[in-house]
Amino acid sequence: MDGVGAMTQRGDARIRELKEAFPRAFGADPDGVWEAPGRVNLVGEHTDYNDGFVLPFALSETVQAAVRAREDRTVRILSGQQEDSAKVDLDALARSDALQPGRRVSGWAAYPVGVLWALEQAGHRLRGMDVLLGSSVPTGAGLSSSAALECAVGLAAAESAGIELDPLALARMAQRAENDYVGMPCGIMDQTASTTGRQGHALLLDTRSMQLEHVPLELERAGLSLLVIDAQAPHRLVDGEYADRRRQCEEGARTLGIESLRVLTDQGTTPEELDVSVEDDVVRRRVRHVLTENARVLEAAQLLRDGDPAELGEILNAAHVSQQEDFEITVPETDRLVETVLQAGAWGARQVGGGFGGCVIALVPQDAHEAVVAAAASQAERRGLEAPLMLTAEPAPGARRTA
């Protein structure tokens, strides 16, 4: 298992490498390096766009942006993770016609350019800059490398221009980039976790009031670790399915005559009451997931306040079943992996992220750690796959300047 010391050292090495690579790419040293973390969500899946509760934490894995300001309004962006580069003019971004079909940047660069676009659209005047990106967040694995990328670039761009943005404002800019520029209708959780994370804490976020509470997450002290394992599920048409779920939740709220599904939690509605009030079976199950999931988040937060993280196991298991049966966003690969790690001694496990693949998180007591790792690896081997990506998730700080 990685100690925090080892993590920090690796982080330092990453920053050093990025600073060394910068002059090779752009001919001069960077002014600074900013980084923003990916996140893992303990519980609270698909609740954020229903005005509900989530309980994520920021990871020690980050996207880093090394930046050198320019005298003009040109932004050039390179990524160590990508072959192609991007070049945009901030004046064009500030004019909405930059969003005409064919004029919008596509591919990976839409994330960083999108956040520049959102900042310019909000009236912030940025400086031109050269940007080199590095990352230790696995992409497309449900750990929100996209939000980490947006937040790292957003913070770097703002601070390079002398603009002060509080963490929630930065999160909103990043979300706007993903919603309106990339075209992914995500909620506010990922970006908020990335900007407001705190070492050793999970974040209880009420996405309606944006009230947040940092609750201690002391796994090591309880003899536990939270393992993130990539289920290596083949790519599926995730965006369409995500939007479908969102629409079904909106339909549920309309049927019930409420503003959002969160209201059910305020009203103390029980799952049984839904059986009578929502006729459509699919919509009812979608609504039930959101209702029970919000309850699980609040229960989990209370367990953490009470210093009782071992009890999280049951909540993770119930959350997985709800995602599987009611929200129907799991896939056979994640279902099997959850079963496998539970058999190997994990106290709880569930698929994390938007769904249809991605990673599984497992709450693992120290004495079962090796068995769980081995079981996940041999399951992958039986499928003819490489050993899956696995990491021990440790609650780390949010977006910041690091060099």
* Residues 305 to 364 in contact with Mg ion, rule: CB under 5 A: none
Residue 219 main-chain phi, psi, to 5 deg: -70, -45
With respect to ligand ADP, which residue has the nearer C-beta, 133 or 291? 133
Under the criterion CB under 6 A, does residue 334 sit at the interface with ligand ADP? Answer: no
With respect to ligand ADP, which residue has the nearer C-beta, 236 or 305? 236
With respect to ligand ADP, which residue has the nearer C-beta, 47 or 292? 47
Under the criterion CB under 5 A, does residue 135 sit at the interface with Mg ion? Answer: no
d(CA 74, CA 88): 6
245: Cβ–Cβ under 8 A, 6 or more apart, which residues?
A: 46, 286, 327, 329, 355
With respect to ligand ADP, which residue has the nearer C-beta, 55 or 133? 133
Under the criterion CB under 6 A, does residue 323 sit at the interface with ligand ADP? Answer: no
Under the criterion CB under 6 A, does residue 183 sit at the interface with ligand ADP? Answer: no
Burial of residue 403 (number of CB atoms within 10 Å: 0-12, 13-18, 19+):
middle
| β strands within 117-223, DSSP E | 129-135, 201-206, 211-216
Under the criterion CB under 6 A, does residue 142 sit at the interface with ligand ADP? Answer: yes
Under the criterion CB under 5 A, does residue 146 sit at the interface with Mg ion? Answer: yes
Under the criterion CB under 6 A, does residue 175 sit at the interface with ligand ADP? Answer: no
From the list Mg ion, ligand ADP, none, pick the one residue 143 interacts with, judged by a Cβ distance below 5 to 8 Å according to partner type: ligand ADP
Under the criterion CB under 5 A, does residue 175 sit at the interface with Mg ion? Answer: no
Rounded least distance, CB 259 to ligand ADP, Å: 28
d(CA 256, CA 103): 41
How far is CA 230 from each of CA 155, 159, 162, rounded to the nearest angstrom? 29, 34, 39
d(CA 296, CA 319): 8
> Which residues are annotated as catalytic?
190
From residue 246 to residue 275, what is the string marking binding to ligand ADP with x (rule CB under 6 A)? ------------------------------
d(CA 40, CA 31): 30
From residue 186 to residue 225, what is the string marking binding to ligand ADP with x (rule CB under 6 A)? ----------------------------------------
Residue ranges of alpha helices (H) inside 28-95 are 90-94
Long-range CB pairs of 366-371, under 8 A, 24+ apart, other chains included: 366/223, 366/224, 366/225, 368/344, 369/1, 369/225, 369/227, 371/344, 371/345
With respect to Mg ion, which residue has the nearer C-beta, 11 or 353? 353
Q: Are 291 and 264 in contact (CB under 8 A)?
A: yes
Under the criterion CB under 6 A, does residue 277 sit at the interface with ligand ADP? Answer: no
Classify 2 as helix, strand or coil: coil
Stretch that binds ligand ADP, among 51-59, 141-149, 154-162, 202-210 (CB under 6 A): 141-149
Distance of CA 370 to the CA centre of its chain: 27
With respect to Mg ion, which residue has the nearer C-beta, 174 or 253? 174
* Residues 28 to 87 in contact with ligand ADP, rule: CB under 6 A: 63, 79, 81-82
Under the criterion CB under 5 A, does residue 50 sit at the interface with Mg ion? Answer: no
Q: Which residue is nearest to Mg ion (CB)?
A: 146
Total binding residues toward ligand ADP, as defined by CB under 6 A? 18
75: Cβ–Cβ under 8 A, 6 or more apart, which residues?
A: 86, 87, 88, 89, 90, 113, 116, 126, 128, 129, 130, 131
Under the criterion CB under 6 A, does residue 149 sit at the interface with ligand ADP? Answer: yes
- Applying CB under 6 A, which of residues 60, 144, 192, 232 lies at the interface with ligand ADP? 144
Beta bridge partners of 364: 225
Rounded least distance, CB 95 to ligand ADP, Å: 25
Q: Are 315 and 296 in contact (CB under 8 A)?
A: yes
With respect to ligand ADP, which residue has the nearer C-beta, 60 or 144? 144
Q: Residue type for 104, please?
A: R
d(CA 99, CA 88): 13
Rounded least distance, CB 352 to ligand ADP, Å: 10
Which residues sit at the interface with ligand ADP, rule CB under 6 A? 63, 79, 81-82, 108, 111, 133, 135, 139-146, 149, 353
Which residues sit at the interface with Mg ion, rule CB under 5 A? 144, 146
